Chain A
Amino acid sequence: MIQYAVDQHIAVITWAMTSSPMNVLNDDSIPAFESALEQAFADDSVKGIIITSAKPEFVAGADLKMILRNNDKDPTDMLKVSSELNRVFRRIETSGKPTVAAINGTALGGGYEICLACHHRIALANPKTAIGLVEVTIGLLPGAGGTQRLPRMLGIQVALPLILEGKKVGVQEAKSLGMIDDIADTPDEMMAKARAWIEANPKPIKPWDEVDRKTGKIVGKDNVKVPGGNVQSAVGAQTFGVGTAMMMDKTKGNYPAPLEIMACVYEGLQVNIDRALSIEARHFVKVATSKVAKNLIQTMFLGMNEANKGASRPKDIPKTEVKKLGVLGAGMMGAGIAYVSAQAGIDVILKDVSIEAAEKGKEYSRSLLQKSVERGKLDPQKADGILSLIKLTTSAQDLDGCDLIIEAVFENRELKATVTQEAEPFLAEQGVFASNTSTLPISGLAQASAKSDRFIGIHFFSPVDKMMLVEIIVGKQTSDYALAVAIDYTRKIRKTPIVVNDSRGFYTSRCFGTYSGEGMELLKEGINPVLIENAGKDAGMPVGPLAVTDEVALDLVYKIAGQGIQDGAIREDDTSYQVAKKLVELGRAGKKAKAGFYEYGADKSKKLWSGLSDLFPLAPQQPSLDEVKTRLLYRQAIEAVRCFEENVVRTKLDADLGSILGWGFPAYTGGALSFIDFVGVDTFVNTCDRLANQYGERFRPTARLREQAAQQQAV
């Protein structure tokens, strides 16, 4: 697991874990690493130590399962884990023997914290290497000295944003920031440089350490000068005063880790490193035992990994592969689908009614690829290669042999039926036909297909290149095989699939509609629209419910709701329908019309339309911010519960991921279903009942939820 070898008086400690795919810090590796270190410290013939890895990466970080295991235990359990790690790393720093990190590959989180504890850091010029303290992205903070050593090295103003954003950088950038000291072109050179440094620096000591005169041991120094300014300085006042406000603007106070990171740096950098590490450990434990960290690790890390590996894929279907893809309609969605597919190396036939229309779709890929080239993220030859994979046509015959055809034409049943029947005959023998519809039931569309078992919904989100989610809709007749193809394709284009059953609005559109809908309910009641919008954002949604409705377009809401009324699915007095109707009749169709709930300036600025108060006069009694937040979040969550119970969405994980990635439900809650465990099933049910009594039956909890509450069961 941890190899130990001594060569010419230098100990080389090599991470080579076999129990996990990558080198991680866990209950097995930490003691093994420590004993290797102790062996080197104890051996008088060893003059110095090199720490490196035999795997492609250096060390990827801490094992999150270890964190999760201790999440809801007594905080002192987690404190033991954290203090142990700190003790081991501090030993590296204070052993008196020069220790060099030979960073052959990616060093993230705890992996980079090993490097920080070393006296010198040399990275291999490996383009795949990512270096950084990324803990915040999963709700944690660097708890093995990261919040203390990085600011002491780089200064608070440089280090704090890196830690708060969880920024990953490449080798060159790491060097220019000072995160590493040197770069080597080859592994041999890296090791040679490490040896040379050890020879040249037999007794290294960190700027924040000193030799205790009485004991001769290396200990933390008091009153250390931090590069760029100490905490108690004008620079510090700016960094922590305004910096805290900036951080709160981003998190809205919903994520504890960024604040605890700032507290670590603020408190820790006012004392010596030894005391600072114990302060850091305290804050780390607070964060690591929080529900938010648990939610983020479970849903956004472990859950997402599972989904990306195809958790919802039927197990007994052999792996399939889409090599040739047909895309019908080169509008915004079709163009996006073509782009992400070509990027994954798939041959794409992009079909539209005219070559000009198809060319416009390809132009989308061209401009995105060009941007990547300009930013130096893509080599021009590769960009040309990707672009050449997209072939344009107006003729269905060119679709011959496609493994998958996705139609992305207008949301019109007749049109969809026509293109389905036109294209389907050209599918490969095992080919699957998919619709990218976001609203029309798949089983209905499948009636146009000659092979309805090979007909499936693959719902992309806009903009396709940025939105990570794909909602796969299984119709009544859709086979497991078609589902396997859709999931395999989604994995190939590196998106996260969730699987839902056919139903009006499927899962994401249906639940998302409740956010926008509740916004309109509030507006109709005379709640201050500013409060409504701020409550949405403060609750953690990316935009307010009225702003997002403007983006979707009010005429579309009006049209879809009207269709719903026609189909008997919703009532004539439906609030979304009525509110959208009012605005549409005033020519306010939303953002595209530059007039909706908002007024849109030429400079991309927007503000709530002043006429709203005439249409919806302000109620004399306004609710609290918390009440509006509660309504907006609970309304979405109770709809997700109904979708789950109605088997519209098949698994809790899919429901959670779909909510976060699909319509922006806040990640700190763990997702729309985990939200219920987050607030507690009891609280959820009681609050829903109260909301239902006050605002309408749409909030009424289901019978099964009541049972779960009675039995104290998680959802």
Chain B
Amino acid sequence: MAEAFIYDAVRTPRGRGKSDGSLHEVQPIQLLTSVLRELRDRNQLDTSLIDDVILGCVTPIGEQGADIARTAVLESSYHESVAGVQLNRFCSSGLEAINMAGAYVMSGQVDAIIAGGVESMSRVPMGSDGGALFMNPQIVAHHNIVPQGISADLIATKYGYSRTDVDRFAAESYRRAVDAQAANRFHKTLIPFKDELGVTLVDHDEGVRPGTTVDSLAKLKPAFEAIGQMGLDALALLKYAEYAQINHVHHAGNSSQIVDGAAGVLIGSQEFGEKTGLKPRARIKAFAVVGSEPTIMLTGPIPATKKVLKRAGMSISDIDLFEVNEAFAAIPLLYMDELGVDHNKLNVNGGSIALGHPLGATGAIISATLLDELERSGKQVGLASLCIGGGMGIATIFELL
């Protein structure tokens, strides 16, 4: 089987996902064209060598609808022979795109491919695509489907994470992100977003709030208590009858931020590198997805990690750095506790709590952050993992060359 290599990665800044965010006036297609053009230009790519562009997008309706990947290919002035496909595996879509791209290359059916994702959450709101999973009464009732925030609070309840535990984790995410920005650790992948006149609209992840502490977070009200009490807690507890109530600990400050952003990763075979003279940075060592219990929903990274380690013939101690998406603080906390991962190895430059989680793009962003940090710190092996709506998990192991 052929190997799949990562040659480069580019992403936009993450703009606050509200109408006052810097990227709110930018269309999602423009976020993507900035990424695709940068990948082309800085690698002096002959785009006719690219077979396909796979992009994750979780709310593929409105201006993110109609196969935004092919739309982006056309508007970026790539060669018209380049195809494009949009996929949706919820929050993991960006990493799923990388895995699929990797699998295509490994299978020998594709030479080069760009994988990534996009989400303009300020313009196409999360959940605005509806979906039977969340709306169909029979599906909601049969599988006790609750919003993710309730699931995250259920994890905190089941595994005993207090409000202070999750706030402490969140404050640390902010501290790390502030330090990483100050040390300019994202420069390799992150490009400023420039408008059509070439004026920079934003050049950094704008959700990072210096000075965020456990004390400042303690003032925020739990976000899911009110809806929980409307019946959603009860629906979850029908399955988790050993708990009297759900302890609502998550809020805007210890959950991932809603942001706008896009990312792309150039993946190809060894021959592609030889043909273009590009130097591969890392190989995709192994990847795995799993389904997990859908009510608690967000525990999937743990079995996914076990599965990918087994597939790679590795153990936790073989992994130098982890990027685990901070959808909610309880998820990385549980991940570390269940798998015995040292916090010094996980999300060392902060995570989605401080930096933001543009749903379709995050998987690609954290993979790129992981490679950058492995290179910067002289380490070798990294693992990226995300929890996924509907009860799934994903994990991918990258190895520097």
List residues of chain A with CB under 8 Å of any chain B CB. Answer: 231-232, 234, 236-237, 240-249, 252-253, 259, 262-263, 266, 528, 530-531, 533-535, 538, 607-608, 622, 625
7 contacts between A and B (CB under 8 A): A232-B130, A236-B130, A241-B135, A244-B137, A245-B146, A263-B136, A531-B242
- A537's closest neighbor in chain B, by CB? B241
User: Which of B144, B232, B242, B244 is within 8 Å of A242, CB to CB?
Assistant: B232
Q: Find chain B residues with CB under 8 A from A244 CB.
A: 137, 140-141, 235
Q: Find chain B residues with CB under 8 A from A242 CB.
A: 227, 230-232
- A629's closest neighbor in chain B, by CB? B241
Q: Find chain B residues with CB under 8 A from A530 CB.
A: 241-244
Q: Find chain B residues with CB under 8 A from A243 CB.
A: 137
Are B135's CB and A538's CB within 8 A?
no
Are A259's CB and B241's CB within 8 A?
no
Task: Verify if B183 is at the interface (C-beta below 8 Å from A).
Answer: no
Q: Find chain A residues with CB under 8 A from B83 CB.
A: none
Q: A242-B227, A242-B231, A259-B141 are in contact. Are A248 and B244 (CB under 8 A)?
A: no
Are A266's CB and B136's CB within 8 A?
yes
- Bound together, the chains give a CA A535 to CA B237 distance in angstroms of 11
Are B140's CB and A240's CB within 8 A?
yes
Q: A237-B130, A535-B241, A625-B241 are in contact. Are A249 and B234 (CB under 8 A)?
A: yes
Are A253's CB and B238's CB within 8 A?
yes
Are B241's CB and A245's CB within 8 A?
no
Q: Find chain A residues with CB under 8 A from B227 CB.
A: 242
Beyond A247-B231, A248-B141, A259-B137, 17 additional pairs, beta carbon < 8 A = A232-B130, A237-B134, A240-B136, A241-B134, A243-B137, A244-B137, A244-B140, A245-B146, A245-B230, A262-B137, A530-B242, A530-B244, A531-B241, A533-B244, A534-B244, A607-B244, A608-B244
Would you list the 7 A-B pairs with minimal beta carbon distance, nearest first? Answer: A246-B231, A262-B137, A249-B234, A534-B241, A245-B231, A245-B235, A244-B140
Q: Find chain A residues with CB under 8 A from B127 CB.
A: 237
- Bound together, the chains give a CA A86 to CA B231 distance in angstroms of 34
Task: Verify if B138 is at the interface (C-beta below 8 Å from A).
Answer: yes
Q: Find chain A residues with CB under 8 A from B244 CB.
A: 530, 533-534, 607-608
A256 to chain B, nearest CB (A): 10
Are B141's CB and A253's CB within 8 A?
yes
B149 to chain A, nearest CB (A): 13
Are A252's CB and B242's CB within 8 A?
no
Q: Find chain A residues with CB under 8 A from B230 CB.
A: 242, 245-246
- Bound together, the chains give a CA A534 to CA B237 distance in angstroms of 9
Interface centre among A243, A244, A246, A625 (most CB of B within 10 A): A244
Are A248's CB and B238's CB within 8 A?
yes
Q: Find chain B residues with CB under 8 A from A245 CB.
A: 140, 146, 230-232, 234-235
Q: Find chain B residues with CB under 8 A from A232 CB.
A: 130, 135
- A266's closest neighbor in chain B, by CB? B137
- Bound together, the chains give a CA A461 to CA B243 distance in angstroms of 32
List residues of chain B with CB under 8 Å of any chain A CB. Answer: 127-128, 130, 134-138, 140-141, 144, 146-147, 227, 230-232, 234-235, 237-238, 241-244
- Bound together, the chains give a CA A530 to CA B238 distance in angstroms of 12
Q: Find chain A residues with CB under 8 A from B137 CB.
A: 240, 243-244, 247, 259, 262-263, 266
Q: Find chain B residues with CB under 8 A from A266 CB.
A: 135-137
- A534's closest neighbor in chain B, by CB? B241
- Bound together, the chains give a CA A234 to CA B127 distance in angstroms of 9
Q: Find chain B residues with CB under 8 A from A241 CB.
A: 134-135, 140, 147
- B232's closest neighbor in chain A, by CB? A245
Q: Find chain B residues with CB under 8 A from A234 CB.
A: 128
- Bound together, the chains give a CA A249 to CA B227 distance in angstroms of 13
Q: A242-B227, A245-B235, A246-B231 are in contact. Are A263 and B241 (CB under 8 A)?
A: no
Q: Find chain A residues with CB under 8 A from B144 CB.
A: 248
User: Which of B130, B138, B147, B243 is within 8 Å of A263, CB to CB?
Assistant: B138
- Bound together, the chains give a CA A357 to CA B161 distance in angstroms of 55
Are B232's CB and A259's CB within 8 A?
no
- Bound together, the chains give a CA A231 to CA B132 distance in angstroms of 11
- Bound together, the chains give a CA A263 to CA B137 distance in angstroms of 6
- B131's closest neighbor in chain A, by CB? A237
- Bound together, the chains give a CA A237 to CA B131 distance in angstroms of 9
B227 to chain A, nearest CB (A): 7
Q: Find chain A residues with CB under 8 A from B237 CB.
A: 534
- Bound together, the chains give a CA A228 to CA B244 distance in angstroms of 36
Interface centre among B128, B234, B243 (most CB of A within 10 A): B234
Are A252's CB and B135's CB within 8 A?
no
Q: Find chain A residues with CB under 8 A from B141 CB.
A: 244, 247-248, 253, 259
- Bound together, the chains give a CA A531 to CA B239 distance in angstroms of 11
- Bound together, the chains give a CA A284 to CA B237 distance in angstroms of 29
- Bound together, the chains give a CA A528 to CA B243 distance in angstroms of 9
Q: Find chain B residues with CB under 8 A from A538 CB.
A: 238, 241
- Bound together, the chains give a CA A625 to CA B230 distance in angstroms of 23
A525 to chain B, nearest CB (A): 15
B289 to chain A, nearest CB (A): 25
B148 to chain A, nearest CB (A): 12
- Bound together, the chains give a CA A246 to CA B228 distance in angstroms of 10
A476 to chain B, nearest CB (A): 45
- Bound together, the chains give a CA A134 to CA B136 distance in angstroms of 23
- Bound together, the chains give a CA A608 to CA B243 distance in angstroms of 11
- Bound together, the chains give a CA A533 to CA B138 distance in angstroms of 26
- A233's closest neighbor in chain B, by CB? B130
A600 to chain B, nearest CB (A): 15
Q: Find chain A residues with CB under 8 A from B231 CB.
A: 242, 245-249
- Bound together, the chains give a CA A262 to CA B140 distance in angstroms of 11
Q: A246-B231, A248-B231, A259-B141 are in contact. Are A622 and B242 (CB under 8 A)?
A: yes
Q: A242-B227, A245-B146, A622-B242 are in contact. Are A259 and B138 (CB under 8 A)?
A: yes
- Bound together, the chains give a CA A245 to CA B137 distance in angstroms of 9
- Bound together, the chains give a CA A244 to CA B133 distance in angstroms of 12
Q: Find chain B residues with CB under 8 A from A608 CB.
A: 244
Interface centre among A234, A240, A263, A622 (most CB of B within 10 A): A240
Q: Find chain A residues with CB under 8 A from B136 CB.
A: 240, 263, 266
Are B232's CB and A252's CB within 8 A?
no
B127 to chain A, nearest CB (A): 7
- B130's closest neighbor in chain A, by CB? A232
A292 to chain B, nearest CB (A): 15
- Bound together, the chains give a CA A264 to CA B13 distance in angstroms of 45
Q: Find chain B residues with CB under 8 A from A253 CB.
A: 141, 238
Q: Find chain A residues with CB under 8 A from B242 CB.
A: 528, 530-531, 534, 622, 625
Are A236's CB and B135's CB within 8 A?
yes
- Bound together, the chains give a CA A244 to CA B241 distance in angstroms of 18
B169 to chain A, nearest CB (A): 27
Q: Find chain B residues with CB under 8 A from A622 CB.
A: 242
Q: A246-B230, A249-B234, A534-B237 are in contact. Are A237 and B135 (CB under 8 A)?
A: yes
B18 to chain A, nearest CB (A): 17
Q: Find chain B residues with CB under 8 A from A534 CB.
A: 237, 241-242, 244
Are B243's CB and A248's CB within 8 A?
no
Q: Find chain B residues with CB under 8 A from A262 CB.
A: 137-138
Are A252's CB and B130's CB within 8 A?
no
Q: Find chain B residues with CB under 8 A from A607 CB.
A: 244
